Amino acid sequence: MDLDTIAAISTPLGEGAIAIVRLSGEGAIAIADKLYKSPSGKRLNEVESHTIHYGHIVDPSTDEVVEEVMISLMRGPRTFTREDVIEINCHGGLVTVNRVLQLTVKYGARLAEPGEFTKRAFLNGRIDLSQAEAVMDLIRAKTDRAMNVALGQMDGRLSKLVKRLRQEILETLAHVEVNIDYPEYDDVEEMTHQMLIEKATIVKNEINKLLQTSQQGKILREGLSTVIIGRPNVGKSSLLNSLVHENKAIVTDIPGTTRDVIEEYVNVRGVPLRLVDTAGIRETEDIVERIGVEKSRKVLKEADLILLVLNYHEELTLEDIQLIEVVKGMDTIFIVNKTDLSRKIDLEKIEQLAEDRPIVTTSLLEEKGIDELEEAIGSLFFEGNVQSSDLTYVSNSRHIALLTAANQSISDALDGIEAGIPIDIVQIDLTRCWEQLGEIIGDSVHESLIDQLFSQFCLGK
Ligand code: GDP
Ligand code: ZN
C-alpha cells in the first residue's frame, strides 16, 4: 500500500520536556533531508537505517536555523508503521516544535489525523485491531496495573487467544463438512457429534473466562467510580485529602465530565479510583444538600464503590442509619474515623449493619488506618490476591460486546447440537461465532468502524 507522508507532534510517554516531530511514509526521509543540516555535511538519504543524527533544522527559504535537533531515521518495514519513519527530537518549546512541523508540511508532508500512525501500523499489517486499541489504552492508562493490561494486549496476548479459539472453530467446522459430505457413514456422524460438543464447549469456556475478567478489566481501564458519603464533620474531606495525598491524583480533565459532577482520579494499590463529586465534598460538605436527595441516590446507585464515613467519637445518629439504609446491598467500605478520640460508637451494631462488608477504623488526623483502608479497597476488587499481570483481561467495551455475542452464538450452536438440529444449521452459528471473534482482531471489520476507532486516538500516535 502506498500512502502519503504524514507528520505530527508526538511526545513520548512520561517525557514531557522533549517533543518529537514524527514523519511516516515514502517521502519521510527526503522531506527531512530538505530541512536537515549536519555539521559534517552528510545527507539523510545516505545514512544507515536505525541511526540517530545530530544537526539543525534550517528553513530552506531563508537559511535561518530553526532548531537544534537529534534525528532518528528508520527505514521500513522494521518500524512501527512499516513505512520509513523520521523522528525529529526537539528540545525547544512548543513554538519551535510547531515551526519544525510547519516546515515538514511546507516541504511535502501532510498533518496526520489523530491515531493515523497507529492506523497505518494496522493497515500495513504490523499490528491487529486489538493491539491498536491497546496503544490507545496505554496512552490513557491511569495506573501501572492498567498499563500492564494494555501492554499485554499490545503484545498480542488477546489476539493470540482469539486466534486460537478461531482455529478451534475452524477445525470444528471442517468436521461438520465431513459430516455433511458423508452422512451415510454412521461412525463419522457419531464421532462428529461427540467432537462438536467437546470443541464447542472448550470455545465457550474460554470465552466465558475472558468475559469474567471484563469487570476488573473495565475498572482498570475506566476507573472505579467511588463516592464518599457521611454526615457533616465525620472526616470526608480529610479522607479525600489523604487519599489524594498518598496516591497523587492522576487525571484532572476528563472528557464527558458533566458540570454538576466533578471527578478526580487516585491510584490505590493499582486500582484507579474515580472519585465522584469531590467538589461537592469540598465545597458544601454535603452531597445530599448540594445535589438533592434524588440525584444523590442516582449517583450512589451508579457508583462501583461507596466509602461511608462514620464518627468513632459519637453515637450512631438517625442520619447515619439512614445513610446505611441507602447503601444497602452496594459495595461499601465502612470507615469509622477519629479513633484518636474516645469511643462512643457501637462497633457491634455497625458490624451487624455492615452485613459482611469491610469495616476499617481510622484516625485521619494521626494518619492511622489508611493502609488498612487501601488494603480493603484492593482486596475488594482483586479478591485478596494480587492478580498476576500475565492474566489476559478484556477491558474494552467493543471487545466485551463481541465476546458476549460470540458467547451467544457458540451457546446456540451447542444447544443445536444437543437438540439434534440439522448440522448445517449448527454450522451457521459456528460461523457467526468465528466472525464475531474475528472482529476483535480486525478481521472483516467495516471500514467506517476503523475510521471511528482510530479517530479516538491522541494526535501524533
Ligand atoms: P467532613 O465534614 O466530613 O468533610 O469532615 P472534615 O474532613 O472536614 O473534618 C471535620 C473535622 O474533623 C475537622 O476539624 C478535621 O480536622 C477533624 N478530623 C478529621 N479526621 C479526624 C480524626 O481522625 N481525628 C480527629 N480528632 N479529628 C478529625
Ligand atoms: Zn469537609
Query: Tens digits of per-residue pLDDT, 311-370?
Result: 999 999 988 998 898 889 888 999 999 999 999 999 999 999 999 899 999 999 999 999
For residue 388, is it within any domain?
no
Q: Is the CB of 142 under 6 A from ligand 1?
A: no
Q: Is 142 exposed, middle or buried (0-12, 13-18, 19+ CB in 10 A)?
A: buried
Q: Is the CB of 274 under 6 A from ligand 1?
A: no
Q: Which ligand is nearest to the CA of 341?
A: 1
Q: Looking at residue 22, which CATH number applies to its domain?
A: 3.30.1360.120
Judge if 347 and 250 occupy the same domain.
Answer: yes
What is the mean pLDDT of the segment spanning 413-432? 88
What is the mean pLDDT of the segment spanning 151-172? 83
Reply yes or no on whether the pLDDT at 294 is more than 70: no
Lowest mean pLDDT among 24-28, 299-303, 330-334, 400-404: 299-303
Judge if 201 and 224 occupy the same domain.
Answer: no
pLDDT at residue 275, rounded to an integer: 80
- Cβ < 5 A residues, ion ligand 2: 237, 285
Reply yes or no on whether the pLDDT at 384 is more than 70: no
- Note the maximum CA span of the chain: 85
Would you say 230 and 314 are in contact if contact means Cβ atoms under 8 Å apart? no
Residue 73: name the closest of 30, 37, 15, 108 by CA: 30
Q: Is the CB of 341 under 6 A from ligand 1?
A: yes
User: Which of the four pLDDT bands, split at 50, 70 and 90, describes residue 406?
Assistant: very high
What is the mean pLDDT of the segment spanning 6-10? 88
Please tell me the residue having the least CA distance from ligand 1 atom 16.
Answer: 365
pLDDT at residue 256, rounded to an integer: 35
Judge if 254 and 347 occupy the same domain.
Answer: yes
Q: Is the CB of 228 under 6 A from ligand 1?
A: no
What is the mean pLDDT of the segment spanning 168-190? 69
Judge if 166 and 56 occupy the same domain.
Answer: no
Name the residue with cell 520509513: 84
The number of domains in the chain is: 3
Judge if 198 and 252 occupy the same domain.
Answer: no
Please tell me the residue having the least CA distance from ligand 1 atom 25.
Answer: 338
Judge if 367 and 223 occupy the same domain.
Answer: yes
Under the phi-then-psi rule, with left for phi > 0, alpha for psi from -120 to 50, and beta for the rest, what region is 369? left
For residue 453, is it within any domain?
no
What is the mean pLDDT of the segment spanning 282-305? 64
Lowest mean pLDDT among 55-69, 252-266, 308-322: 252-266
Judge if 112 and 252 occupy the same domain.
Answer: no
pLDDT at residue 391, rounded to an integer: 58
Range of the domain at 177: 140-213+395-442
For residue 460, is it within any domain?
no
Judge if 435 and 361 occupy the same domain.
Answer: no
Task: Determine whether the annotation assigns residue 235 to a binding site.
Answer: yes
ipTM of this predicted structure: 0.98
What is the mean pLDDT of the segment spanning 59-73? 93
CA of 107 to the centre of ligand 1 (A): 62
Tell which of 68, 95, 128 closes a domain: 128
For residue 404, is it within any domain?
yes
Task: Determine whether the annotation assigns residue 257 to a binding site.
Answer: yes
CA distance 110 to 4: 8
CA of 341 to the centre of ligand 2 (A): 18
Please tell me the residue having the least CA distance from ligand 1 atom 10.
Answer: 233
pLDDT at residue 267, rounded to an integer: 75
Q: Is the CB of 232 under 6 A from ligand 1?
A: yes
Judge if 123 and 146 occupy the same domain.
Answer: no
Name the residue with cell 491487529: 128
What is the mean pLDDT of the segment spanning 146-164? 78
What is the mean pLDDT of the segment spanning 5-13? 78
Highest mean pLDDT among 204-213, 221-230, 402-411: 402-411
What is the mean pLDDT of the segment spanning 76-105? 88
Q: Is the CB of 242 under 6 A from ligand 1?
A: no
